[in-house]
Amino acid sequence: MLRRLYDWTMRLAEHPKSEWALAGISFAESSFFPIPPDVILAPMVLANRKKTWRYCLICTISSSLGGILGYLIGYLLMDTIGQWIINLYGLQHSFDEARNKFNELGWLMVLLGGGFTPIPYKIITILSGITQLNFFVFVIVGTFARGTRFLLTCAILYWLGPRAREIVEKRLGLAFTAFIILIGVGFYLVKYVFK
């Protein structure tokens, strides 16, 4: 099953409209979609190294715009989606404390959550809106964090070149397991940090 999924992703990466798919996934993942853009970004870089930096830019811009949508969801829809997130992570009794904690270190949370931890970025964007973190700080730090993350991913894949594809294909099960574990760790970190 993993092999079929991998082959499908590689075919998608070579499709003429793959850049639109990459932009759409990058946008959606920053506000509501559960799957990170790396799932399509990595195969696209492996399939066409000449466009590596273009793909990086597409991810960064789309993800930043999606992050703004996530912020607006938190800011404007606190009573519906925002409340659901508070309940999901058990913050009903300590929301004010969590809000203060987030705003004290908000820029750092956006930086780390946006680029350097497995914390899902959509959680960071929505919480930024809920807690009314300074919008301009959010946009600047979020864009930097996402851009740096995608730049590092693309640089590693570009540098490894065909060897990266060989490594992934030989250890597909391990790569998939690590990916799922990272997503799980990210959601656990969000729950732990704000308790």
Residue 185 has pLDDT above 80, yes or no: no
Q: Is the pLDDT of residue 179 over 80?
A: no
Q: Which segment of 6-10, 57-61, 115-119, 125-129 scores lowest on mean pLDDT?
A: 6-10
CA distance readout (Å), 125 to 34, 142, 165, 188, 194: 13, 9, 32, 17, 15
Q: Tokens 């759409």 identify what position?
A: 24
Residue 54: CA atoms inside 13 Å, Cβ hemisphere, count?
9
Q: How many CB atoms lie within 10 A of CB 44?
A: 28
CA pair distance 119, 194, nearest whole angstrom: 12
Distance between start and end Cα atoms, the chain: 38
pLDDT value of residue 186: 59
User: What is the mean predicted confidence (pLDDT) over 44-67?
Assistant: 93
Which pLDDT does position 180 carry in this prediction? 62
> Dihedral through CA 65, CA 25, CA 154, CA 58, nearest 10?
-40
165: pLDDT confidence band, cut at 50, 70 and 90?
low
How high is the mean pLDDT of the chain?
80
Q: Is the pLDDT of residue 161 over 60?
A: yes
pLDDT single digits (tens) 103-144: 778 888 888 878 777 777 888 888 899 888 999 999 999 999
Residue 46 has pLDDT above 70, yes or no: yes
- Write down the pTM of the prediction: 0.77
Mean pLDDT of 14-30: 89
- Is pLDDT above 80 for 171? no
Closest to 119 measured CA to CA, from 31, 29, 190:
190
